[in-house]
Amino acid sequence: MDKPFGVAIIGGSGYGAGEVMRLLVTHPAIEVAEVISRSHAGKPVHTVHTHLQSTTSLTFSPSLTVNWCSRYRKVAFILAMPSGLAPDTIKDIIDKRLPANAVIIDLSGDLRLRDETAHKAFYPEVPYAEEIRAECIYGLTELSRSEVPAARFISNPGCLATAAIVALAPLSSQVFEGAVVIDAKTGTSGAGREPQASMHHPSRTADCAAYKVLQHRHEPEILQALGPAFSSANTMMFIPHLLPVSRGILVSAYGTLRAPIEPRIMREMYERFYAGAPFIRFRESSPRLVDVVGTNFCDLHVTTRGKQVAILATIDNLGKGMAGQCIQNLNLVFGLSEDRGLLTPALGPV
């Protein structure tokens, strides 16, 4: 039986696009109809994403068409391009007279920040595009599940931001004393496919170093999502580090509460907050990267000691931090169960 829903991927040569295609190969209801890459136009997709050989017969197209849209009940356009290109690309798609019920999901950070001052400070290369931004839903599915199905534009959250927000969102009603610290460690695939000296294997192997300390683009995104309890009453410190691994994020978030909470009460608070969330899993001890790499799961461990609270979260930066979350949102847009095609276990030891 033909799949009822179709997507086009624009900017199809990057890691995020490759992961979207890998996950959709076996999706029972969503099909990749077109993949756009000017630099690879005419080449089979598997010549760039070599892990997809024998699983897809798609060829890169030089530009977007919409003539395929009529084959599907509903369609989506996934923007998997470098920062700065989303606003103009969305306008181009609209000019092509896309179907009225189509949705556009942007995987970059171009449309994530609502505040214009913050946007200009952290994304100076990106037009603010007020009209598009006003319609854009921030698509962290666990927090925006009710808004996603009717969305026209969805901004996919950043990978580090996803792990940090999921870790701290249940504490938005709590009062902290002093700073809330987010120590985030991430794999190098989050930097994209284009070669960089700092991501060169000899520079990264057997090493771990912080980068963009107190200056990372994901910090205002985290504050925006968590709301006033964090952005006005507390000083948040977000410090990312690069791990010598390709995929995976470990976030350690911690702070001091105004009043003590027992570990059991805190765990129950988190379980209630994420009740019905199929991709949130609780661990009895520190979660591990190998248990989430290749999946859309976020593993959490939360504990307290008096007033102190510590939350550990792991995700795959290309999975729940990007492509998996994109498909989780697509499922809701298409009226499917949000876990459709995504309940894949990790490989285990890698």
Q: Taking 90 as the threshold, does the pLDDT of residue 42 lie above it?
A: yes
Cα separation, 125 vs 251, in Å, equals: 28
Percent of the chain with pLDDT over 70: 94
Rounded to 5 degrees, what angle do the CA atoms 146, 151, 157 make? 80
| Contact status, residue 256 vs residue 177, Cβ threshold 8 Å | yes
Whether residues 122 and 141 share a domain: the answer is yes
Whether residues 164 and 313 share a domain: the answer is yes
Reported as a single tens digit per residue, the pLDDT across 110-123 is 999 999 999 999 99
Q: Taking 60 as the threshold, does the pLDDT of residue 195 lie above it?
A: no
pLDDT-derived band of residue 210, with 50, 70 and 90 as boundaries?
Answer: confident
In-domain check, residue 237? yes
pLDDT-derived band of residue 201, with 50, 70 and 90 as boundaries?
Answer: low
Q: Taking 80 as the threshold, does the pLDDT of residue 197 lie above it?
A: no
Reported as a single tens digit per residue, the pLDDT across 166-188 is 999 999 989 898 899 999 999 87
pLDDT at residue 55, as a whole number? 95
In-domain check, residue 343? no
| Contact status, residue 35 vs residue 9, Cβ threshold 8 Å | yes
Distance between terminal CA atoms of the chain?
35
Q: Taking 70 as the threshold, does the pLDDT of residue 191 lie above it?
A: no
Whether residues 136 and 168 share a domain: the answer is no
Per-residue DSSP letter, 295:
S
Give 3 or 201, the one with higher predicted confidence: 3
- The range of the structural domain enclosing residue 296 comes to 160-317
pLDDT at residue 200, as a whole number? 58
Whether residues 146 and 90 share a domain: the answer is yes
pLDDT at residue 348, as a whole number? 86
Q: Taking 90 as the threshold, does the pLDDT of residue 59 lie above it?
A: yes
Q: Taking 70 as the threshold, does the pLDDT of residue 205 lie above it?
A: no
In-domain check, residue 178? yes
Whether residues 114 and 259 share a domain: the answer is no
Cα separation, 137 vs 153, in Å, equals: 6
Check which CATH number belongs to the domain holding 97 and give it: 3.40.50.720
In-domain check, residue 229? yes
Reported as a single tens digit per residue, the pLDDT across 87-117 is 999 999 988 877 878 999 999 999 999 999 9
Whether residues 166 and 311 share a domain: the answer is yes
Q: What is the DSSP string of 309-342?
A: EEEEEEE-TTIIIIIHHHHHHHHHHTTS-TTTTT
Whether residues 120 and 43 share a domain: the answer is yes
Whether residues 97 and 216 share a domain: the answer is no
Q: Provide the residue type at 343 as one letter.
A: L
pLDDT-derived band of residue 214, with 50, 70 and 90 as boundaries?
Answer: confident
pLDDT at residue 264, as a whole number? 97
Q: Provide the residue type at 292 as one letter.
A: V
Mean pLDDT for 130-157 is 96
> Among all residues, which ones are annotated catalytic?
159
pLDDT at residue 84, as a whole number? 94
Mean pLDDT for 63-81 is 93
Whether residues 36 and 108 share a domain: the answer is yes
Reported as a single tens digit per residue, the pLDDT across 262-301 is 999 999 999 999 999 999 999 999 999 999 999 999 999 9
Whether residues 91 and 166 share a domain: the answer is no
Write the burial class of residue 290 (CB in 10 Å: 0-12 exposed, 13-18 middle, 19+ buried): middle
Mean pLDDT for 318-336 is 98
pLDDT at residue 110, as a whole number? 97
What is the average pLDDT score of the chain?
Answer: 92
In-domain check, residue 340? no
Q: Taking 60 as the threshold, does the pLDDT of residue 157 lie above it?
A: yes
Whether residues 129 and 97 share a domain: the answer is yes
Check which CATH number belongs to the domain holding 300 and give it: 3.30.360.10
Number of domains in the chain: 2
Residue 94, phi-psi category: left (phi > 0), alpha (psi -120 to 50), beta (remainder): alpha
Q: Taking 90 as the threshold, does the pLDDT of residue 206 lie above it?
A: no
